[in-house]
Structure 1
Amino acid sequence: MSCRQVVAVVLVVLLAGVFSGTPARAKKREEPNYTLGYGDVIDVLVWKEADFTVEGLTVRLDGKITLPLVNDIRAEGQTTRQLKAHLEIVLRKYIESPVVTVLLKEARSQRFYILGEVMQTGEYSLTKELTVLQAFAIAGGFTEWAKKKDIFVLRRKETGEAVIPVNYLDIISGKDLKGNIVIRADDTIVVP
């Protein structure tokens, strides 16, 4: 086995051990609704109205989509349910009782980044709740020079950038499981 394969196997085993210890009585966490943003691809389906149904709409840089007769509609910052409700109101000008379905076809707007001493630095899609340990696995693990105690996450907040320290060794040893934070859109993980 190569060094990369050994690291990958060890990481999978450790992740399985960390996540298998969840108590059965733990509350099921509500998944937040996905908020549409630039680059997301959606389908707008209007029941029994083929002229208003459009598939493969991409949310533009200005945050809008274009529909026949309706023209530009803001999609950015809304969930698919919110956009559905808004479109049903707008379409009442043309259809008596519109029934709209908005489907997220491709989630492209929510991304996170990994830089530094990992096997595959770069930009990654954030399509589900993801922790830093899972992000390291996606990036192929660490290089041999990684300073696993000095990792940090840069997170944008309304008040400016926040630096969140992450000690990988404490997380995998069980000393600091809370340090296995959930990644948010636009987070940058830096592995020195």
Structure 2
Amino acid sequence: MIRRTFIYLAIGCLGASPCLAADPPSISPNSSSTVSQSDPDHVLTQAQDVVDYRIGPEDVLDISVWNNVAISRTVPVRPDGKISLPLVNDVQAGGLTPNQLRSVLLKKLAEYVPSPEVSVIVREVHSFKVSVIGEVKKTGRHELKGRATVLDILAMAEGFGEFAGRGRIVVLRPEGKTMRQIPFNYNKVVSNNGAMENFFLQPGDIIVVP
């Protein structure tokens, strides 16, 4: 079982949902920018890696420093992806998982606070937007208030077009100035034969149905 940490991910909205533990592994720096559809084991590895939510502009974070109310506060993520906190000033939060941001804050605060304990909670999500295009009945962009899988968004698209290539769906994921391609074979996912998994999307993902 994955080790429990002090950090949690709360996907907030009106009638807030329960917090979800935010401790899945992040994407390995050695991951290829393009995943081969002929390598299902690699696809499964990537699907496991992309579970954690990445903070984006306009999100609202609860930063708590144990036994230090002067630093603990609720902060918005600015359009440049940064947050402002006492002592450490501006810190890049956009693009990081809550766990990664926690690690950054621990390192910075250690210069001023002995043995700091930090938690990061995403209180409000405003940057989680994904799109679906191609051979579906309803293309468009969706602003989400919580995590969603590829199948969730395909359901919002209200079904496939008559000539949709269900076995050749691709999820485009922004990574810096490039777009990583993650294959998604709808037929294998719904057949439940273990060949491929339905994975969680990240902000900015584009589902392409050929």
TM-score past 0.5 threshold:
yes
Deviation at 1:88?
A: 2.7
Give the direction of change, closer, same or farther, for the CA distance of 1:126–1:96 in structure 2 (3 Å limit). same
Deviation at 1:162?
A: 4.8
Q: Which runs of 4+ in 1 moved over 4 A?
A: 156-166, 170-181
Q: Which runs of 5+ in 2 are unaligned?
A: 1-47
CA distance in 2, matches of 1:101, 1:172: 35
1:147 matched to 2:165: no
Q: Which runs of 5+ in 1 are unaligned?
A: 1-28
> Pairwise mapping of residues 74-113 of structure 1 onto structure 2 (< 5 A)?
74-113=92-131
CA distance in 1, matches of 2:200, 2:146: 11
1:59 matched to 2:77: yes
Q: How many residues align?
A: 157
Instruction: Spell out, residue by residue over 1:147-171, the C-alpha distance to the aligned partner (whole angstroms, 9 max, x if none).
Output: 35246445146665759586x6x56
Query: Match for 1:155: what amino acid?
Result: L
Q: How high is the sequence identity, in percent, across the aligned residues?
A: 30
CA distance in 2, matches of 1:39, 1:47: 25
1:33 matched to 2:55: no
> Pairwise mapping of residues 1-192 of structure 1 onto structure 2 (< 5 A)?
32-55=51-74, 57-115=75-133, 117-119=136-138, 121-125=140-144, 127-128=146-147, 130-131=149-150, 133-139=151-157, 141-142=158-159, 146-147=161-162, 149-150=164-165, 152-153=169-170, 155-156=172-173, 162=181, 170=187, 174=191, 182=199, 184-185=201-202, 186-190=204-208
Instruction: Spell out, residue by residue over 1:62-101, the C-alpha distance to the aligned partner (whole angstroms, 9 max, x if none).
Output: 2210012321011123322232232233223443332221
SS for the counterpart of 1:83 is helix
Structure with higher Rg: it is: 1
| RMSD (CA atoms) | 3.8
Query: Match for 2:102: what amino acid?
Result: K
